[in-house]
Amino acid sequence: PAARRRTAGARLPLRSGLEGLEPYGAPQLDVPVLLNVNENPYPPSQAVVEDIADAVAKAAGGLNRYPDRDFAELRAELAEYLRVESGVTLSAGEIWAANGSNEVMLHLLQAYGGPGRAALSFAPTYSMYPEYARDTITEWITGRREEDFTLDVTHALDQIAAHRPSVILLASPNNPTGTALPLETVESIADAARDGGPIGPDGAPTAAVVVVDEAYGEFRRDGTPSALTLLERHPHLAVARTMSKAFGMAGLRLGYLAAAPALIDHLRIVRLPYHLSAVTQAAALAALRHREELMQQVASLREERDGLVTWLRDRGLRVADSDANFVLFGVFPHRDQVWNGLLERGVLVREVGPAGWLRASVGTPEETAAFKAALEEVLGS
Per the DSSP assignment, residues forming a β-bridge with 96 are 257
CA 46, 51, 54, 55 torsion-angle sign: negative
Closest separation in Å from C-beta 333 to ligand PMP: 27
Does position 244 bind ligand PMP by CB under 6 A?
Answer: yes
Here's the x/- map for ligand PMP, 247-286, by CB under 6 A: it reads as ---x----x-------------------------------
Query: Is the previous residue joined to 32 through a cis bond, with omega within 30 degrees of 0?
Result: no
- Residues 6+ away with beta carbon under 8 Å from 353: 124, 176, 177, 328, 359
How far, in Å, are 28, 79, 156, 168, 286 from residue 225 at the CA level? 34, 17, 21, 20, 27
Here's the x/- map for ligand PMP, 153-182, by CB under 6 A: it reads as ------------------x---x-------
Nearest to 360 by CA among 177, 215, 89, 183: 177
Does position 101 bind ligand PMP by CB under 6 A?
Answer: yes
Does position 325 bind ligand PMP by CB under 6 A?
Answer: no
Q: Which is nearer to ligand PMP, 100 or 330 (CB)?
A: 100
Per the DSSP assignment, residues forming a β-bridge with 240 are 213, 257
Does position 150 bind ligand PMP by CB under 6 A?
Answer: no
Q: Which is nearer to ligand PMP, 26 or 162 (CB)?
A: 26
Residue closest to ligand PMP (Cβ): 100
Closest separation in Å from C-beta 255 to ligand PMP: 4
Say if residues 336 and 367 touch (Cβ distance below 8 Å).
Answer: no
Does position 353 bind ligand PMP by CB under 6 A?
Answer: no
Does position 138 bind ligand PMP by CB under 6 A?
Answer: no
Closest separation in Å from C-beta 323 to ligand PMP: 12
Which residues from 48-77 bind ligand PMP, rule CB under 6 A? none
Closest separation in Å from C-beta 57 to ligand PMP: 25
Say if residues 213 and 127 touch (Cβ distance below 8 Å).
Answer: no
Closest separation in Å from C-beta 64 to ligand PMP: 29
- Residues 6+ away with beta carbon under 8 Å from 153: 185, 188, 189
Say if residues 332 and 351 touch (Cβ distance below 8 Å).
Answer: no
Say if residues 207 and 193 touch (Cβ distance below 8 Å).
Answer: yes
Nearest to 357 by CA among 182, 175, 140: 175
Q: Which is nearer to ligand PMP, 150 or 175 (CB)?
A: 175
Closest separation in Å from C-beta 250 to ligand PMP: 6
The sheet carrying 318-319 orders its strands as 318-319, 326-330, 358-361
Closest separation in Å from C-beta 320 to ligand PMP: 14
Which residues from 13-32 bind ligand PMP, rule CB under 6 A? none
Q: Which of 41, 44, 67, 100 is in the footprint of ligand PMP by CB under 6 A?
A: 100
Stretches 96-104, 227-235, 334-342, 368-376: which one binds ligand PMP (CB under 6 A)? 96-104
Q: Which of 81, 122, 126, 332 is in the footprint of ligand PMP by CB under 6 A?
A: 126
Stretches 97-105, 156-164, 185-193, 282-290: which one binds ligand PMP (CB under 6 A)? 97-105
Closest separation in Å from C-beta 108 to ligand PMP: 12
Here's the x/- map for ligand PMP, 283-322, by CB under 6 A: it reads as ----------------------------------------
Stretches 99-107, 191-199, 288-296, 328-336: which one binds ligand PMP (CB under 6 A)? 99-107
Closest separation in Å from C-beta 145 to ligand PMP: 14
Q: Which residues bind ligand PMP (CB under 6 A)?
A: 38, 100-102, 126, 171, 175, 213, 215, 242, 244, 250, 255
